[in-house]
Chain A
Amino acid sequence: MIETGKSLDEFRGAVRRFIDENLPADIRRKLQLGFPADRDDIQRWHQILHRHGMSTPAWPEEYGGPGWTPEERSVFYEELFTAPAPEPQNFNSNMVGPLIAQFGTDEQKARFLPKIASLEYWFCLGMSEPGAGSDLASLRTAAILDGDEYIVNGQKVWTSTAHHANWVYCLVRTSSVGKKQAGITVLLIELDTPGIEIRPIISIDRRHHFNEVFFDNVRVPVANRIGLENEGWAYARYLNGRERTGIARVGLAKEKLDFARRLLEERRKTHPAPFEEHEYRKRFALLDAELAALDMTQLRSLEYEASDPLGAPVELASMLKIGGAETVQEASRLAMEIAGQAGLRIREVDEQQMASLSDEELAVSSVVNGYSLYRAVSIYGGANEIQRDIIARKLLEG
């Protein structure tokens, strides 16, 4: 456990040392070569962090949080991305956990928080539906009260990691009277409850990240409702607000830029091309400048957190989301261009190939998957168009 109260530089050094000493080498190598962490990787690392009291950086100390300042939290995440290492399971650590800490009953806090912190409960988010994406309030998955249980019927989509999870945070409709937002309730649902079916969705990186989740007369105890019935929209906004600031992920874009730089270094050994190298280095320089600006914007937004209970202004959070998306997309595009024709080959790498192929061959095999997957960052968590609407509305209508 790394204590608060040092200088930020000392804190950063301590985090880096911790990661160097504790991050399994196979996980670091996998991420360095551009492959995503799998279920086992995320679990292993989350549990290591948990053992050292660092799997829930944003939680109040009374629930096991490390008591770090917002700046220290930001440095912690940046170092994880730079290592590279997986984050603590994000839905648990940054969204559902803080939501329960803020709005749950004492009984719910006692029942859920320790298991969320340890990843014994793995939460996914049941929010979007086929007819409700950007317009989330239009959701139709219904919950009808029957004694001390809700009966849930409907369907969620784009449910990331539902195939790894054992719990789902689910937005349901408990009333169709009045405004759409006024009839939404938050339920925590155990995924092995009878009536739940999970179907994989294959993404354009040919991998399985997202799912459809179907609810057919699923019975959920009222004790699993967070807060009040029909008050769920406010809780959902709280959770989505946390998702937005988390998504800047400046460290991720920096790591992807470094990946592109390393790839260019490797390529020029076998395919020297001075003109191209010069062009790429200009683009690296520009992206680096953008990342420096984004980094400072993130630091500025953290300053608000210290003094304002609502945190950073919503337009600044939206700016961070857009900037985080655009920089990681540009970095992944650079790597793909540098890999060139060699990246066109579809190569699903198994464990044996991880050991036998060269680092360059492995890195080249992951660039198109990375580029393809990161097309999603301008869509999920509130599409970039929505974020621009938020900024415009705030500036123009106040």
Chain B
Amino acid sequence: MVALQADERQLFVDTLGRLLREQYEFSKRRTYLASSDGWSRDVWAQYAGIGLLGLGIDEEHGGAGGSVSDIATAMQELGRALAVEPVLGTMIAGQALQLFGSQQQKTDLLPRLAAGELVFAVALGDAGGSGVTAELRDGAWTLSGTAACVIHAASAEQLLVAANTGTGAALFLAAAGANGVSISEYAVQDGSRASDVAFANVAGEPLGNVEETRSSCDSLHQIGAVAVCASSIGAMAAALDQTIAYTKTRRVFGKALVEFQAVRHRIADMYIAREKSMSITLAAVNALDADNGGGAGRAVSAAKVLVSKNAWFVTEQAIQLHGGIGMTEECAVGHFMRRHMVNDQLFGSPMQHLEILTRFEDLAGQGVSADMRERRRQ
């Protein structure tokens, strides 16, 4: 998939940003969380209306075009606003269908997905698997096992599952309401809903050709990983902006907080953390869009590891610089930390990604930065 043109992307970002500023004022967010869905169907319809859900999907199938970098850009805006709609799962599923689905699956599902008519939740697990196995019996696949912490599973019509077939992981579609699916929903730390999804011999439809989807699980993990990195970057950016606004106005000992050098330097460090996170995520996104195979995996893991610690730093320091008020449930500032806390554990923990990076070291590779230099030479 080809990235949007620069002016198209800018227009999209401006439109999405405006929508979120109008619809995601912090007290409105609280009402969405308190609703029975835990998110706003009205806002969801507006996302569909501006083409958000069609990002990364070709126009032939009702999409807006665009590549992983456009998905990442959108996730960053959603992270800024701390949006809680099931966008991530739906967009990842959209990528799965676009890249690996059969023609029939694409025709049946993509236009409805892009139009906001189908909510998807993804149970892809991590490098260690999803907890779900798939068995072929009499020509039909069935799924068994339990996938933990599936974001927005209870709101989804369709589930995309990475299941172990015995010879590796493959992607399957299952109807959330199918026989044998049981969903127990709870809230996670940023207020979003998630579920443990138990499968008891549930009918599963392989995505495209099951032989070919083995490497696609890795690709989707990577797309998911950069998506949550982008979301944390948005949260970091908003946390920094709020901190700058607060420290300019809060006065102690006769001066605004920003007049204290310790505070100024901390803010500078928060800026560095944010920019570094954006750079490494951009490197990963470029590697994915260039279809770089192993190189993309390394860049993605580097992004996960660096964004993890930098976003913890920014979101924690945002609380610290707000003082007591940063410790309250009511103040938005603590919620940026919570969003990152959730992102941090999706599509592989930082520790898992550090291990991946170490394995690349073991292979006497030259690392992510060498990859980037190589790519620029081409």
Contacts and interface: CB of A to CB of B under 8 A. Distances in A.
Given A204-B329, A344-B342, A346-B189, A380 B324 contact: yes
A128 B252 CA distance: 13
A346 B324 contact: no
Contact of A341 (B187, B334, B349): B349
Interface stretch (A64-72, A187-195, A370-378): A370-378
B14 interface: no
7 contacts: A201-B330, A202-B330, A204-B319, A346-B186, A375-B316, A380-B324, A385-B260
Interface string B151-193: 0000000000000000000000000000000000011110000
Interface in A188-225: 201-204, 206, 210
Given A340-B345, A379-B320, A345 B327 contact: no
B354 interface: yes
Given A341-B148, A345-B149, A376 B327 contact: yes
Interface size grouping (class) on chain B: 35 or more
Contact of A275 (B328, B330, B341, B355): B355
The 5 A-B pairs of least Cβ separation, nearest first, read A204-B334, A202-B329, A135-B252, A341-B345, A275-B355
Interface string B343-372: 001100111101100100000000000000
Contact of A372 (B334, B355, B358): B334
A275 B358 CA distance: 10
A210 B331 CA distance: 14
Contacts of B139: none
B328 A204 contact: yes
A2 interface: no
A342 interface: yes
A262 interface: no
Given A158-B324, A344-B189, A346-B189, A135 B253 contact: yes
A57 B324 CA distance: 30
Contact of A375 (B252, B319, B329): B319
Contacts of A201: 328, 330
A279 B149 contact: no
Contact of A346 (B187, B263, B328, B355): B187
A133 interface: yes
A4 B115 CA distance: 77
Interface string B310-336: 000000100110011011111000100
A335 interface: no
B262 interface: yes
Interface in B217-243: none
A229 interface: no
A341 B128 CA distance: 13
Contacts of B330: 201-202
B323 A134 contact: yes
Contacts of B270: none
A203 B351 CA distance: 29
B123 to A, nearest CB: 12
A375 B336 CA distance: 14
Nearest to A383: B323
A135 B253 CA distance: 6
Interface in B293-308: none
Interface in B236-263: 252-253, 260, 262-263
B309 to A, nearest CB: 11
A206 B329 contact: yes
Contacts of A378: 320
A344 B329 contact: no
Contact of A344 (B188, B319, B323, B327): B188
A342 B61 CA distance: 37
Contact of A379 (B252, B253, B323, B338): B323
B194 interface: yes
Nearest to A384: B320
A201 B326 CA distance: 12
B323 A345 contact: no
Given A157-B324, A204-B327, A344 B345 contact: yes
B82 to A, nearest CB: 14
A360 interface: no
A347 B149 CA distance: 13
Contacts of A372: 334, 337
Nearest to B356: A275
Contact of B262 (A343, A346, A388): A388
Contact of B355 (A276, A336, A337): A276
A203 B327 contact: yes
Nearest to B342: A344
A344 B342 CA distance: 6
A368 interface: yes
Interface string A7-37: 0000000000000000000000000000000
Contacts of A275: 351, 354-355, 358
B149 A341 contact: yes
Interface in A271-325: 273, 275-276, 279
